[in-house]
Chain A
Amino acid sequence: MKLEVLGTGCAKCKTLHENVKKAVEISGKEAEVVKVEDFPTIMKYGVMSTPALVKDGKVLFSGKLATAEEIAGML
């Protein structure tokens, strides 16, 4: 499973990144977590509000944060 955290430098984006990492631990599943900051990729997913989370190429949500528990439930 590949998880991409879309977002440029702001605090919310960093928080999401942390939460995703924690969520992977909580869920116990195998996942590669990548932070994506380049615009061409963000655009490719059609995301306009960061932060956003993409799982295996599919956008789970955008424009908001989620707690580690909530994310774990989506994995």
Chain B
Amino acid sequence: MIKQFADYVTFSLMGLSPGQHLAEALNFFIYDTLKIFFLLIVMIYLIGLVRVSLPVERVRAYLAGKHRLIGYVLGSIFGAITPFCSCSSIPVFLGFTSAGIPLGMTMAFLLTSPLINEIAVILLLSLVGWKITLLYVLIGLGVGIVGGLFLDAIKAERMLQGFARKVYEEGQHAQIEAAEKKRIAMKDRHQFAKRELREVFGRIWIWVIVGVGVGAALHGFVPDTWFEAHLGSGQWWSVPVATVIGIPLYSNATAIIPIMESLIVKGLPLGTTLAFCMSTVAASFPEFVMLKQVMQWRLLAIVFLMLLIAFTIVGWALNAIY
């Protein structure tokens, strides 16, 4: 139905013909933007209804005292399903640390969080199908878990900075009482979900347009085999390069996904695409500026490098398999 509208506007209203660059780009843009907006509105609201029962305080109380190995997995999973404004990264970090939660678990949470959120998943499902979505989610979780494990293995807590360090030491003796479980009335859930919808949608709609816009341009104007010709999976260096390029580029998961779809459709190898997109989202400048306040340079560099290596390996592996 949306497709018909998109076709109508592009071909009838604007009088463009199929096959023309501008026509393809415009058609893609209209169709995808509308489809995504619709899906987002429905899903954000529905998820909002459920999510009101899962505030960060409960996650913390749950994670505190959990055995290490399970803790990384749980930390990562919770990171995937709880949202929070990226400016809460530090408060969450400090809050978890003060509860005695090992640094690695906190990082598992923080690493996975920007990568996986329901919006990203919805977009991926609708644009590139469930197989790639599953891959994306598993990689995101994997990076969080392995990252957390690694950081604890090298005793990264030695490399915390100033205030955070003090919090860590005090946290080792902390007792956290269980967060209260409240029964929340349907009416309140609806209020929360409605507010969440307005806030989240209000924050991301522009990103969707930007993302789909770039995707549309790629779709319409870049020849189908361009990527194959220039960056085909033959060259081993294309993956690390893609990962590195992703770092200074900042995008949240929302905008990057339409771009990811276009890259894949245009023949950029799956591994290279995922490495690039995940690197763009996970290694983001604003987040690092935040983390710098609690981590020494050494630790920050280690985290960076760790992400780079992880995504590069994943990229190579996927290119080899596909």
Contact = CB atoms under 8 A, between A and B. Distances in A.
Interface string A35-75: 00001101100111111000000000001110000000000
Contacts of A47: 91, 95
B85 A49 contact: yes
A43 B100 CA distance: 14
A51 B57 CA distance: 15
Nearest to B55: A63
A48 B56 contact: yes
Interface residues of B, number: 23
A6 B248 CA distance: 29
Contacts of A8: 87, 90, 290
A43 B171 CA distance: 12
A50 B92 CA distance: 9
B60 A48 contact: yes
Contacts, number: 57
Contact of B88 (A11, A43, A48, A65): A48
A70 B16 CA distance: 50
A49 B195 contact: no
A28 interface: no
A74 to B, nearest CB: 15
A43 B87 contact: no
Interface in B285-306: 290, 293
Contact of B85 (A12, A40, A42, A43): A12
Q: Which 9 A-B pairs have the closest CB atoms?
A: A10-B87, A48-B95, A8-B87, A48-B56, A49-B88, A48-B91, A43-B94, A48-B92, A50-B88
Interface of B: 55-57, 60, 84-88, 90-92, 94-96, 98, 163, 167, 195, 199, 203, 290, 293
Given A12-B199, A39-B163, 9 more contacts: A11-B203, A13-B87, A48-B92, A48-B94, A48-B96, A49-B84, A50-B88, A63-B56, A64-B195
